[in-house]
């Protein structure tokens, strides 16, 4: 008999999703699928627009990571113009991307995931959210809000607004960082550094005391990892080149150019999801599963390049015994990247070129097809445009970080289901653990599928005959 369990509050993921779990004859989980059930349409309705508008248009794909699309679109526009942007413009773009990483990672860790860590997986669903965290641990909640505010305010100092700033443009940026903004950053940095260091210490204590099972169960499996690295192998978020490593840390491919992505990235489709399934083409589908995002970036780089964050990266790798393969440790990696971003900002604000210099290179259409890449908080982001001689968009392809993690998210959901569903017994706490497994990747389904709306999660469990056994859902 089908049962429906309605759980309140609304799930803490960004986008519509459904999970199907398939049971064997003994009632144990055999497989699971993570479905994204909206249509993706941004590429189509960008057709016919001038390429110069793409930064402003694609930034509106998402209110959480608009800077990521802004920069990827601007970098693609640079290539259509065939210009090298001024050094000051590149440094300012790097600065706003660091601010984006800080605010997005703070949102993911403190607002979406920390209620599980600090209130408990099995706590009352009505309290297991940011408001429950505020009531139970107001100082931690305030610290997370202040950290995200720092990133958002820095974005506003640069782009003029916190969300959807039309500031990076093909050829450069529109404006400098003011002296007032520079002073504000310097004044705020010590408190934000103290916050992330204290949070790292607290999370490591939780890992040692309480989260050994989650580390082993929430998506711990071998895969490839992909991300940008600098020419010297340092952690990178804006430039550099692409690198793949395997779960033993071996470099599988290096110095890959985004212009050649079609030679090493394939995109499969499945009839049960609108979200594509990118894979490493030389290894085939689905064996070419790879992960992107903060964990991947820390795995593919040789070092971070700042002392504090590099020490934390090394400790993370020591805990994992080398390359980090547990998706649960994406949360750890986010904190390390927040620290790295703050440390790099502290270095950059001493650069006088942030307040002086030429900001934009001018040119006409010199290239009819271009591909730009940047590291969004959730992972590597590709924008691919084809234009006519007047610069009008003829074709767009966006390869989003969440999509690139799609195979790994499905593998994670399966691993969690197989661990917790035994003999047909399903409890509310299972639903939360599945959600928590998805939240390891901090998926942004609006970026992946480009739709608006609320975000319910639905889990359907099928018996060995393919009949619906149980339905668990979070309603609007």
**pLDDT value at residue 172:** 96
Is domain 4-440 given the CATH code 1.10.645.10 in the classification?
A: yes
Contacts of 48 (CB under 8 A, 6+ apart): 392, 393
**pLDDT value at residue 1:** 33
Q: pTM of the full predicted structure? A: 0.90
For the sheet containing 17-23, what is the strand order? 4-6, 468-473, 457-462, 17-23, 29-35
- Render pLDDT for 181-204 as a digit per residue (tens, 0 to 9): 999 999 999 999 999 999 999 999
Q: What is the DSSP letter of 235?
A: B
**pLDDT value at residue 18:** 72
Can you point out the beta strands (E) in 75-177? 168-169, 172-173
Here the tokens at position 165 are: 């700033």
Residue positions forming the annotated binding site for Fe cation: 65, 447
**pLDDT value at residue 446:** 59
Q: Which of 159, 145, 88, 38 is nearest to 455 (CA)?
A: 38
Return mean pLDDT, the chain. Answer: 87
Name the pLDDT band for 464 (thresholds 50, 70, 90): low
> Within 210-291, where are the H helices?
212-217, 261-264
Residue 120: burial class (beta carbons within 10 Å; 0-12, 13-18, 19+):
middle
Strand partners, 343: none
Name the pLDDT band for 421 (thresholds 50, 70, 90): confident
Residue positions forming the annotated binding site for Mg(2+): 43, 62, 398, 450
**pLDDT for residue 3 is more than 50:** no
To 10 degrees, the CA torsion angle through 145, 151, 157, 162? -70
Cα separation, 98 vs 115, whole angstroms: 25
**pLDDT value at residue 338:** 98
Residue positions forming the annotated binding site: 43, 62, 65, 398, 444, 447, 450
Q: Which of 349, 352, 295 is nearest to 325 (CA)?
A: 295
DSSP 177-212: PPHHHHHHHHHHHHHHHHHHHHHHHHHHHHHHHT-H
Contacts of 321 (CB under 8 A, 6+ apart): none
Residue with tokens 């991307």: 97
**pLDDT value at residue 471:** 67
Cα separation, 177 vs 154, whole angstroms: 9
- Render pLDDT for 253-289 as a digit per residue (tens, 0 to 9): 999 999 999 999 999 988 777 778 999 999 999 999 9
Here the tokens at position 326 are: 């547990």
More confident residue, 387 or 267: 387
Residue positions forming the annotated binding site for Ni(2+): 65, 444
Cα–chain center distance at 309: 19
Average pLDDT over residues 332-347: 98
**Across 81-85, 140-144, 414-418, which has the greatest mean pLDDT?**
81-85
For the sheet containing 224-229, what is the strand order? 251-256, 241-245, 224-229, 290-291
Output the CA–CA distances (angstroms, integers) from residue 287 to 223, 224, 278, 284, 290, in the order listed.
Answer: 9, 9, 11, 6, 9
């Amino acid at each position: 008999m089908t049962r429906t369990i309605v759980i309140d509050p609304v799930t803490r993921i960004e986008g519509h999703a459904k999970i199907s779990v398939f049971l064997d004859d003994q009632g144990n989980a055999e497989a699971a699928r993570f479905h994204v059930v909206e249509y993706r349409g941004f590429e189509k309705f960008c057709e016919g627009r001038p390429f110069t508008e793409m930064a402003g248009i694609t930034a509106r794909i998402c209110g959480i990571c608009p800077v990521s699309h802004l920069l990827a679109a601007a970098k693609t526009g640079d290539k259509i113009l065939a210009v090298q942007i001024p050094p000051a413009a590149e440094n300012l773009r790097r600065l706003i991307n660091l601010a984006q990483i800080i605010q997005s990672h703070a949102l993911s860790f403190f607002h979406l995931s920390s209620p599980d860590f600090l209130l408990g997986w099995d706590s009352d669903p009505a309290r297991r959210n940011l408001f429950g965290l505020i009531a139970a641990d107001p100082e931690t909640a305030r610290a997370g809000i202040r950290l995200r505010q720092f990133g958002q305010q820095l974005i506003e100092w640069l782009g003029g607004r916190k969300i959807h700033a039309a500031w990076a443009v093909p050829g450069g940026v529109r404006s400098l960082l003011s002296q007032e903004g520079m002073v504000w950053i310097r004044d705020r940095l010590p408190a934000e550094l103290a916050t992330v260091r204290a949070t790292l210490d607290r999370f490591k204590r939780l890992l040692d005391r309480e989260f050994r099972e989650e580390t082993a169960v929430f998506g711990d499996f071998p895969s490839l990892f992909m991300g940008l690295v600098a020419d010297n192998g340092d952690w990178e978020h804006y430039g550099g080149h692409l690198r793949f490593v395997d779960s033993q840390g071996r470099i599988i491919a290096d110095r890959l150019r985004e212009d050649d992505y079609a030679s090493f990235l394939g995109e499969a489709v499945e009839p049960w999801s609108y979200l594509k399934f990118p894979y490493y083409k030389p290894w085939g589908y689905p064996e070419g599963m790879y992960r992107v995002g903060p964990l991947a970036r820390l795995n593919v780089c040789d070092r971070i390049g700042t002392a504090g964050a590099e020490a934390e990266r090394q400790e993370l790798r020591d805990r994992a015994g080398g390359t980090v393969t547990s998706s649960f440790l994406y949360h750890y990696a986010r904190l390390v990247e927040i620290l790295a971003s703050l440390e790099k900002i502290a270095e950059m604000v001493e650069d006088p070129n942030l307040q002086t210099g030429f900001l934009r290179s001018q040119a006409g259409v010199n290239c009819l097809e271009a591909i730009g890449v940047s590291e969004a908080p959730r992972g590597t982001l590709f924008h691919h445009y084809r234009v006519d001689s007047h610069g009008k968009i003829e074709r767009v392809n966006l390869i989003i970080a969440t999509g690139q993690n799609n195979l790994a998210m499905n593998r994670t959901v399966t691993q969690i289901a197989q661990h917790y569903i035994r003999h047909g017994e399903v409890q509310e706490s299972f639903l939360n653990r599945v959600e928590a497994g998805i939240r390891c990747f901090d998926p942004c389904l609006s970026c992946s599928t480009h739709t608006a709306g609320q975000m319910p999660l639905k889990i359907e469990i099928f018996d060995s005959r393919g009949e619906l056994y149980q339905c668990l859902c979070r309603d609007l």
